[in-house]
Structure 1
Amino acid sequence: MKTRFHALFGVCLVTLMLGLAPLSAMAQEVEPINVNTAGAELLTELPGIGPSKAAAIVEDREANGPYESAEDLTRVSGIGDGTVANLEDQVTF
């Protein structure tokens, strides 16, 4: 009986994992965020961008005009080359 339970549990676990696999694939296919139109709340979804940096991005954009490239984000205090490298494929302009 115990062996039968383990076999059934294993089958259920594998089935569950296979059923959830498409969800993880979909989660990876996220549309890039346009930093020139996104609000602060949406910008916080970017890696390394919390609420204060997101607000600073919006503030800088309104004061100095739109961003033309990821490198332009370095004009925001606290955003350096490392953060920009992590954002390059996740943002549009």
Structure 2
Amino acid sequence: MLEHFRAVVRFLLFAVALAAAPPALFAHAANVDVNTADEAALRAIKGIGPAKAKAIVDERATGGFFKDADDLGRRVKGLGGRSVERLRAEGLTVGGVSSGAMLAERPYAATGCAVLYNRTDSHCSR
């Protein structure tokens, strides 16, 4: 009876410790799409620090969505084929792009106008 009680207590302590564990311990289990994630979500992937997360977001903002893992490796300095594959093993994905998401992310520049997302100032023409 006492041994059964000890086993239940050990199980409960384990369950409480697991529930209290920081989410970063489980970051590799969740998929993070490079085309939709913000810097904080990208930093949750093991191997992506603040500078690399910013570089990915900046490149996506200027060059549009990444087509695939090779495109990500070509466009972001410091991410080669091996690095991208390692990040993919940690949960980084390059997902599909819906047209609505594409409009929200891809900026365009009209000549002589400030670059805004999906629009220019009212006096500018496309």
Identity of aligned residues (%): 33
Aligned residues: 84
Cα offset, 1:65, TM superposition? 1.0
Distance 1:29 1:43 in 2: 13
Cα offset, 1:92, TM superposition? 3.6
Q: Which runs of 4+ in 1 moved over 3 A?
A: 10-17, 19-24
How do 1:61-72 residues align onto structure 2 when only pairs under 5 Å count? 61-72=60-71
Deviations 1:6-59 (A, max 9, x none): x8xx85557644x369768xx3642x1111111111111112110001000011
The structure whose RCO (Cα within 8 Å, separation 6+) is larger is 1
Give unmatched runs, 5+ long, in structure 2: 96-126
Cα RMSD (Å) of the superposition?
3.1
Give unmatched runs, 5+ long, in structure 1: 1-6
Distance 1:15 1:39 in 2: 36
Contact kept, 8 Å, 1:47 with 1:86, in 2: the verdict is: no
